[in-house]
Chain A
Amino acid sequence: MCLALPARVIAIDEHGEMATVALGGVKKDISLILVDEVQVDDFVLIHVGYALNKLSEKEARRTLALFAEAGLTGDGLS
């Protein structure tokens, strides 16, 4: 449900309402009306032509680190 994907903002129009985003080399124009303070190079979650939220790159890295640590939890054996 709710197919939404993270995409990088590569351009924002002069009114700050529409942005061009890129995902894996594909570009799309989307609306920024639901999210404030978006800047170029931010990552946003896009769904049905709109950005829904910003993606926190810091949290993304932290989550990936958690996965990598999974082998080290509990009895400390990998």
Chain B
Amino acid sequence: MKYVDEFRQHHLAQKLAAAIGREVDSAREYRLMEFCGGHTHAIFRYGVQDLMPCNVEFVHGPGCPVCVLPIGRIDNAIHLVKQHDVILCTYGDMLRVPGSGRQSLLKVKAAGGDVRMVYSTLDALRIARDNPGRQVVFFAIGFETTTPPTAVAIRQAQAEGLTNFTVFCNHVLTPAAMRSILESPAVPGMAPVSIDGFLGPAHVSAIIGSRPYEFVPAEFRRPVVIAGFEPLDVMQSALMLIRQLNEGRCEVENEYTRVVNRRGNVKAQALVAEVFELCHAFEWRGLGLVAHSALRIKDAFGVWDAERRFSIAGVSAPDSKGCECPSVLRGARKPAECRLFGTVCTPENPMGACMVSSEGACAAYWSYGRLRQPPVAIKVEAVR
């Protein structure tokens, strides 16, 4: 795969590892928050941590829109299927996320509910066209990367006069989440966070550009490097952050120049601004209420808003007792430091946000990370 495989090359990894090893200051620690689930995934899938010196730590952030979706919103989606008999179209990611009472969209589907997995909003629109007598609701989730396709879908529904199509909007915003994490040391009761720098989101930035992160160095004195999702991108970005920290610089740099620039995709931004507006506050699982962090559909497009059409009530459901997700999402605790991890809370039985999706810090650590000591490998004669 062109422009993918080249960014996974072993020999280049060795060069970058050597450079990082040479340039780190052994007298200090480097705690680099990789904000996005995509980075968490890459780090674990390729074992990037093994190539980093031990004083460089990747802290896993809340960049997983599935993880941070409050349980109440899943309950709402389930309610739509059961009570209103809609065809609920959803991305695969949401199917197994448990809502209240151990219910999930997959279980509702098994019990006869019309839940359909789609790869794209284009599929959801087609289902609406093919089923004029049924209400079709698209369960929209995701950060700024996934929002423009939803905006396009709503505009398309308007253009076609599709009266049976609505969107249940749960799009959330990345810079607001970063701000919430940086401001959190001021929150009593939470473990303090020490993050030295951020690996900025790759594909969110393809849409919004690198400009929206400039507040991070300006107001919070932390450097940001926009990092691609391939493992070489992650290592190069770590190196760029290490250099900034060593040199006392503090700015937004862009490693992912092949896709990201400062302004972003202006056309996509305009489409989003036409259809959506800011919610004044949205409750994030694990982070609590975050101001100006989510989007809702504007009045002009209210006809295609599932929340208005079906009068969806706000439901607030608390997280499990003992669940350390709020601290893990902020990078203040590691998954293994939560007493529910691996005991009560497993991928099969996720108790909190960080375990529900394969990109949550806890799930990624469980699937890919080393849980205990490495095995004793017996030397075998070379048989290759």
Contact = CB atoms under 8 A, between A and B. Distances in A.
Contact flag (A, B; Cβ within 8 A): yes
Interface of A: 1-6, 8, 23-24, 31, 33-36, 43, 45, 47-50, 52-53, 55-57, 59-60, 62-64, 66-68, 70-71, 73-75, 78
B145 A47 contact: yes
A4 B271 CA distance: 20
B154 interface: no
A5 B1 contact: yes
Nearest to B228: A63
Contacts of B265: 34-35, 52-53
B338 interface: no
A64 B6 contact: yes
A1 to B, nearest CB: 4
Given A47-B145, A48-B91, A49-B119, A2 B36 contact: yes
A55 to B, nearest CB: 5
B236 A1 contact: no
Interface of B: 1-4, 6-7, 12, 15-16, 18-19, 22-23, 36-38, 63-65, 91, 119-123, 142-143, 145-146, 148-149, 152, 201-204, 206-207, 228, 232-233, 236, 239, 255, 257-259, 265, 267-268, 271, 359
Given A45-B206, A67-B15, A4 B232 contact: no
Contacts of B258: 55-57, 59-60, 63
Given A45-B203, A70-B16, A31 B152 contact: yes
A64 B7 contact: yes
A1 B259 contact: no
A34 B270 CA distance: 10
Nearest first, the 9 closest Cβ-Cβ pairs linking A and B are A49-B120, A2-B145, A2-B203, A1-B37, A71-B15, A24-B1, A59-B258, A70-B19, A60-B258
Contact of B145 (A4, A59, A78): A4
20 contacts: A1-B65, A1-B204, A2-B36, A2-B143, A2-B201, A5-B4, A6-B3, A6-B4, A34-B149, A34-B268, A34-B271, A43-B3, A45-B206, A49-B120, A52-B268, A53-B259, A57-B258, A68-B15, A73-B19, A78-B15
Nearest to B35: A1
Given A45-B259, A70-B239, A50 B120 contact: yes
In this complex, which of A49, A60, A67 has the most chain B Cβ atoms within 10 angstroms of its Cβ? A67
A78 B11 CA distance: 12
B12 A68 contact: yes
Given A34-B271, A47-B145, A53-B265, 14 more contacts: A1-B64, A2-B38, A2-B203, A43-B2, A48-B149, A52-B265, A56-B259, A57-B3, A59-B258, A60-B3, A67-B16, A67-B232, A68-B12, A70-B16
Contacts of A57: 3, 258
A71 B20 CA distance: 10
A14 B296 CA distance: 34
Contacts of B19: 70-71, 73-74
Nearest to B1: A24
A69 B253 CA distance: 18
B236 A70 contact: yes
A34 B268 CA distance: 5
A33 B271 CA distance: 10
A31 B3 contact: no
